[in-house]
């Protein structure tokens, strides 16, 4: 029994899910600080 598939074509623009939440400088700074914190903690953990 063959499986019937929906071959709907969507563009890349339609496939995007969500939006950028880092619009304000404060949110962007918090995000970058979090990434930097992860790197620092990883480096500190590797030294132990």
In order along its 48 residues, the chain shows pLDDT tens digits of 667 777 788 888 877 777 778 889 999 999 999 999 999 999 999 987
Q: Assess if residue 11 is contained within a domain.
A: no
Confirm whether 17 is domain-assigned.
Answer: no
Residue 36: domain span: 23-48
Question: In whole angstroms, what separates CA 28 from the centre of its chain?
Answer: 13
Integer Cα distance of 39 and 33 in angstroms: 10
Number of domains into which the chain is organized: 1
Cα(18)–Cα(13) distance, integer angstroms: 11
In a domain, 48, yes or no: yes
Confirm whether 35 is domain-assigned: yes
């Amino acid at each position: 029994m063959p499986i019937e598939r929906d071959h709907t074509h969507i563009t890349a623009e339609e496939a995007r899910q969500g939006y950028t939440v880092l619009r304000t400088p404060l949110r962007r700074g918090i995000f970058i600080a979090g990434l930097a914190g992860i790197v620092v903690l990883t480096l500190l953990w590797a030294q132990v």
